[in-house]
Amino acid sequence: MSDIPQFQRIKQATLEQLRAIGTATIAGALSKAGIRNPHLVGLTPFNPGATACGQAVTLQFMPKREDLHWGDEYAAAPGRELHRIAIMACQPGDIIVVDARGSLSSGVFGEMMLTSFKARGGDGVVIDGCIRDFPEVKTLDLGLWLRGVTPNFHTQTDIFPHAVNVPIACAGCFIEPGDIIVADDDGAVVVPLALAGKILETASAKTEWEVFSRMKLEEGGRLDKYYPLNDEAQKEYEAWLREQSTPPPAPPRSIRDG
């Protein structure tokens, strides 16, 4: 698979920090950075409670043309079985992201391929389309963000896999190989790889002050003061931060310790 385009890898610690922040805060940070449309619209979490954050290995489907792909899932030459090649291109922590053209009748992957993806350390599956074998796939405990499920295999209907690790359009978003996908029960968002550091910094800062804001709102504080923080609340927040960073006084030494 040396001919499959590769992409720059980033630190796992960065991915775990973005996962912990979550899609809602990240989407807001992306908006402030000028990214108008980071949300992969219309993809439903099919494993509620699951989260994912990893770099995108992309798979592009195109409308079927019979001289290019003849339909039998197992009859194509190995070089044309790009749905398999995409799975095998994944490294631990990757997310496979598929432009299946929004098809609700073609199952891009089934139990066997997703079993392999899980065993390879894949972190999540994002498809502008469907999978098959859902009763079996859901036991794999993979994060799944999909249009739906179907009994059909992927080339049984009107699309076929065309390219791996190329830029794709997925659920209304432009995604390049290696871009970061963060997904949870709010959906999936794409973080451009070049903006990862900036988005992490902005989103982390918001997450930090929201801890203070939530505490004050739970105490009955005014919404228009504490979310977002106004000037007065900002000063309170900064004082609170200083208190958190001040070590507690040492306990008095007892006579026995003396």
For the segment 165-216, what is each residue's pLDDT rounded down to a tens digit?
Answer: 999 999 999 999 999 999 999 999 999 999 999 999 998 888 788 888 888 8
Sorting pLDDT into bands at 50, 70 and 90, what band is 233? confident
**Rounded to an integer, what distance in angstroms lies between the CA atom of residue 172 and that of residue 57?**
17
Looking at 3.90.245.10, 2.130.10.10, 3.30.565.10, 3.50.30.40, the CATH number of the domain 12-193 comes to 3.50.30.40
Sorting pLDDT into bands at 50, 70 and 90, what band is 256? very low
- pLDDT per residue as tens digits for the range 109-129: 999 999 999 999 999 999 999
pLDDT for the residue 205:
87
Residue 217 has pLDDT above 70, yes or no: yes
Beta-bridge partners for 224: none
Q: What percentage of the chain has pLDDT greater than the value 90?
A: 69
**Rounded to an integer, what distance in angstroms lies between the CA atom of residue 223 and that of residue 212?**
13
Asked if 131 contacts 114 with a C-beta cutoff of 8 angstroms, the reply is yes
Break the chain into its structural domains and give their ranges. 12-193, 199-245
Q: How many CA atoms lie within 13 A of 147 on its CB side?
A: 20
Mean per-residue pLDDT over the chain, rounded: 89
pLDDT for the residue 4:
85
**Rounded to an integer, what distance in angstroms lies between the CA atom of residue 56 and that of residue 124?**
10
- pLDDT per residue as tens digits for the range 4-21: 888 999 999 999 999 999
Q: What are phi and psi of 44, to 5 degrees?
A: -95, 140
Sorting pLDDT into bands at 50, 70 and 90, what band is 77? low
Average pLDDT over residues 81-109: 95
Residues whose CB falls within 8 Å of the CB of residue 28, separated by 6 or more in sequence, listed in order: 203, 206
pTM of the full predicted structure? Answer: 0.85
Residue 105 has pLDDT above 80, yes or no: yes
Residue 257 has pLDDT above 80, yes or no: no
